[in-house]
């Protein structure tokens, strides 16, 4: 397959209609959709390797071996978090074709309706739940034969036939269903169609797994490979973009091409129509700032010539946070399978005996998810809401542009018992080598609509330098309080000496993990409300630079983010096509 990728001579010094920076989730969707028209030429520059037919990518739990491996994982450190143990956090991101769709946990989850309607409500017409569903269905090819217990996903009719095979994982851990039944007996409903925009309750998620091969389906298999024979598509890997080359025309900045490094030398490729940034929520703002588009207060001291003074670049950063301190050793005799156990040959043959139709490599997938509104897990929901209302009223004048409107929308959702504020994930994996042969299950209480806002900015003109990533965890204390109450629903103490609220707060601060869902760093919002891109995803002040990736989401969505990225890229492809029709 690699012979179908572009060689450097076919890209360097050449001109293409569209140059896409980043061959990740969004970048490959766009590349495939734009080249459906044979008259349109596209070059994709991807910093990582192709990873075609790679078991670390294709095997359902292969992601475990990608973590912190620099060939697959960018492994960005944040700055130490003063409210979370004063430690840096590691933000893994997929490096190579497929981007993070090649290393994620394969969950395919659709947002709560209000999460997507927020885009329109905050000033971006045409971005709402109905459009989202329309575009999301373009990606999906469902195989919903396998069901477990009473859980099912209601048929999507007509069954979409997009490029991504999606199915129930053949091997769940076995812990999900009992956990859901116990929640049900405590009044939490089992959701049978969590993809309808109503996510509150407990459910079994589908995954991007091709049931014919039991392997990962992702942006490479679904979008790139079927398009790779097109003569108008040129994909260059190991091409590290350092900046967008621009000039000024009247009041507007015009991108003429992109500078990149390949095999130690600097090259340039020209864009006849547009440069599209799809480098993900961490690298896209970095590349814009390196190109002189950002806050002049950050660019000027570094000696970066300012092309567009756009202070919103790299701000409004939001990230899901989970408490990873609730792990349980499973007792024998309950048929609980974790990924560690599945590597045991004796266990594997027992499983295959019981399930002779299991295909492909055996591995456990995540599937047990629960989404809860504040009122269902917090006795002090009204108190938290009142405190937040008072805080917003008191502090609004000091907020950066647009934050008041975001908070008002978030507050409306917080009051609405149809909208989730927390998630609990059943996690059948252990990263601890000391427990490799024992079945451990962790429950991960997760904050899904953070109030804290962080930043991602360059601190150097070196394109290889890691930007300063500061999510400012728990800058708004309500985030910690919501997580505290979310933990209480599990009715287990996180440790032997962790009983009082203050002890649990400290335990949370010391045992946090990112969920790798960063949004907002180039938010789609009106310019005077903190936006970096407009509803056509164009960077303000530029004629022909768009951003198409997770960074454009202005308020964090509650669920896992990949389905949203695919849908945003599908919609963006139509917006771009319409602009040149």
Ligand X SMILES: Cc1cc2nc3c(=O)[nH]c(=O)nc-3n(C[C@H](O)[C@H](O)[C@H](O)COP(=O)(O)OP(=O)(O)OC[C@H]3O[C@@H](n4cnc5c(N)ncnc54)[C@H](O)[C@@H]3O)c2cc1C
Nearer to ligand X, 107 or 118 (CB): 107
Q: Which residue is nearest to ligand X (CB)?
A: 24
Task: Candidates 124, 167, 278, 410: give the one binding ligand X (CB under 6 A).
Answer: 278
Task: Candidates 279, 326, 447, 522: give the one binding ligand X (CB under 6 A).
Answer: 279
- Asked whether position 24 contacts ligand X by CB under 6 A, the answer is yes
CB-based contact 28:224 (threshold 8 Å):
yes
- Residues 6 or more apart whose Cβ sits within 8 Å of residue 579: 536
The angle at the Cα of 534, spanning 533 to 536, to the nearest 5 degrees, equals: 110
Task: Specify the pairing of strand 42-45 against strand 252-262.
Answer: unpaired
Tell me whether residue 517 is one of the annotated catalytic residues. yes
CB-based contact 124:524 (threshold 8 Å):
yes
Least distance (Å) between residue 333 CB and ligand X: 30
- Asked whether position 76 contacts ligand X by CB under 6 A, the answer is no
516 is an annotated ligand-binding site residue? yes
Of residues 432-491, which lie at the interface with ligand X (CB under 6 A)? none
User: Interacting stretch for ligand X, rule CB under 6 A, among 346-354, 377-385, 534-542, 556-564?
Assistant: 556-564
Task: Candidates 124, 370, 562, 571: give the one binding ligand X (CB under 6 A).
Answer: 562
- Residues 6 or more apart whose Cβ sits within 8 Å of residue 388: 407, 411, 414, 451, 478
CB-based contact 300:306 (threshold 8 Å):
yes
Task: Candidates 550, 555, 558, 576: give the one binding ligand X (CB under 6 A).
Answer: 550
- Asked whether position 104 contacts ligand X by CB under 6 A, the answer is yes
CB-based contact 456:316 (threshold 8 Å):
no
Task: Candidates 33, 137, 170, 283: give the one binding ligand X (CB under 6 A).
Answer: 283
CB-based contact 553:520 (threshold 8 Å):
yes
- Asked whether position 95 contacts ligand X by CB under 6 A, the answer is yes
CB-based contact 333:436 (threshold 8 Å):
no
Nearer to ligand X, 160 or 401 (CB): 160
- Asked whether position 48 contacts ligand X by CB under 6 A, the answer is yes
Nearer to ligand X, 72 or 407 (CB): 72
Distance, in Å, from the CA atom of 343 to the CA atom of 206, rounded to the nearest integer, reads 23
Q: How many residues bind ligand X (CB under 6 A)?
A: 41
SS (H, E, C) 450-470: CCCCEEEECCCCCCCCCCEEE
Distance, in Å, from the CA atom of 250 to the CA atom of 150, rounded to the nearest integer, reads 63
CB-based contact 151:347 (threshold 8 Å):
no
Least distance (Å) between residue 510 CB and ligand X: 21
Neighbour count for residue 491 (Cβ, 10 Å): 8
Tell me whether residue 156 is one of the annotated catalytic residues. no
Nearer to ligand X, 480 or 572 (CB): 572
- Asked whether position 101 contacts ligand X by CB under 6 A, the answer is yes
- Asked whether position 21 contacts ligand X by CB under 6 A, the answer is yes
- Residues 6 or more apart whose Cβ sits within 8 Å of residue 393: none
For residue 123, CA distances in Å to 32, 406, 523, 526 come to: 29, 11, 11, 6
User: Interacting stretch for ligand X, rule CB under 6 A, among 33-41, 97-105, 300-308, 494-502?
Assistant: 97-105
- Asked whether position 100 contacts ligand X by CB under 6 A, the answer is yes
Task: Candidates 549, 557, 567, 570: give the one binding ligand X (CB under 6 A).
Answer: 549
- Asked whether position 365 contacts ligand X by CB under 6 A, the answer is no
Positions that interact with ligand X (CB under 6 A): 21-27, 45-48, 92-95, 99-101, 103-107, 109, 240-241, 278-281, 283, 287, 516-517, 549-550, 560-563, 565
Where in the sequence numbering do the catalytic residues fall?
A: 517, 560
Binding-site residue positions: 241, 516-517
């Amino acid at each position: 397959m690699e012979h179908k990728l572009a060689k450097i001579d076919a890209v360097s010094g050449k001109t293409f209609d569209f140059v896409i920076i980043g061959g990740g989730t969004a970048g490959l969707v766009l590349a495939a959709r734009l080249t459906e028209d044979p008259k349109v030429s596209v070059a994709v520059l991807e910093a990582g390797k192709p990873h075609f037919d790679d078991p670390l990518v294709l095997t359902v739990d292969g992601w475990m071996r990608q973590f912190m491996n620099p060939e697959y994982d960018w492994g960005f450190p944040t700055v130490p978090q003063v409210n979370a143990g004063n430690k840096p956090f590691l933000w893994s991101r997929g490096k190579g074709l497929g981007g993070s769709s090649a290393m994620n946990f394969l969950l395919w989850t659709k947002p709560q309706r209000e999460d997507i309607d927020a885009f329109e409500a905050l000033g971006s017409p045409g971005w709402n739940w109905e459009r989202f569903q329309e575009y999301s269905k373009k990606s999906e090819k469902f195989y919903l034969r396998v069901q477990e217990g009473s859980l099912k996903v209601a048929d999507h009719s007509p069954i979409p036939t997009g490029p991504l095979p999606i199915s129930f994982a053949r091997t769940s851990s076995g812990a999900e269903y009992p956990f859901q039944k116990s929640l049900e007996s405590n009044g939490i409903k089992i959701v049978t169609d969590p993809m309808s925009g109503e996510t509150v309750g407990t459910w079994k998620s589908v995954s991007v797994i091709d049931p014919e091969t039991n392997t990962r389906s992702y942006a490479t298999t679904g979008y790139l490979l079927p398009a790779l024979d097109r003569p108008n598509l040129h994909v260059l890997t190991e091409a590290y973009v350092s900046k967008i080359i621009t000039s000024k025309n009247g009041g507007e900045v015009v991108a003429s091409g992109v500078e990149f490094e390949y095999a130690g030398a600097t090259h340039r490729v020209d864009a006849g129509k547009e440069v599209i940034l799809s480098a993900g929520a961490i690298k896209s703002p970095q590349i814009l700032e390196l190109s002189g588009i950002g806050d002049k207060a950050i660019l000027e001291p570094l000696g970066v010539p300012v092309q567009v003074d756009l202070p919103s670049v790299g701000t409004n950063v939001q990230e899901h946070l989970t408490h990873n301190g609730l792990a349980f050793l499973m007792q024998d005799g309950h048929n609980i399978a974790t990924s560690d156990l599945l590597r045991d040959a004796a266990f594997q043959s027992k499983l295959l005996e019981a399930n002779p139709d299991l295909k492909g490599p055996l591995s456990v997938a995540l599937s047990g998810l629960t989404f809860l509104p504040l009122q269902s897990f917090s006795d002090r929901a009204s108190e938290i809401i009142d405190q937040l209302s008072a805080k917003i009223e008191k502090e609004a004048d000091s907020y950066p542009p647009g934050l008041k409107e975001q908070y008002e929308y978030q507050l409306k959702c917080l009051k609405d018992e149809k909208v989730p504020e927390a998630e609990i994930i059943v996690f059948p994996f252990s990263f601890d080598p000391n427990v490799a042969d024992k079945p451990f299950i962790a429950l991960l209480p997760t904050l899904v609509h953070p109030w804290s806002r962080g930043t991602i900015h360059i601190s150097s003109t070196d394109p290889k330098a890691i930007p300063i990533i500061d999510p400012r965890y728990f800058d708004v204390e309500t985030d910690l309080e919501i997580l505290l109450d979310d933990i209480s629903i599990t009715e287990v103490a996180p440790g032997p000496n962790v009983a009082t609220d203050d002890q649990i707060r400290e335990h949370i601060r010391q045992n946090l993990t990112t969920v790798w869902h960063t949004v907002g760093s180039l938010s789609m919002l009106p310019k005077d409300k903190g936006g970096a891109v407009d509803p056509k995803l164009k960077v303000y002040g530029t004629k022909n630079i768009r951003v198409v990736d997770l960074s454009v989401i202005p308020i964090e969505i509650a669920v896992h983010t990949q389905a949203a990225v695919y849908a945003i890229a599908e919609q963006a492809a139509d917006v771009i096509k319409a602009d040149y029709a």
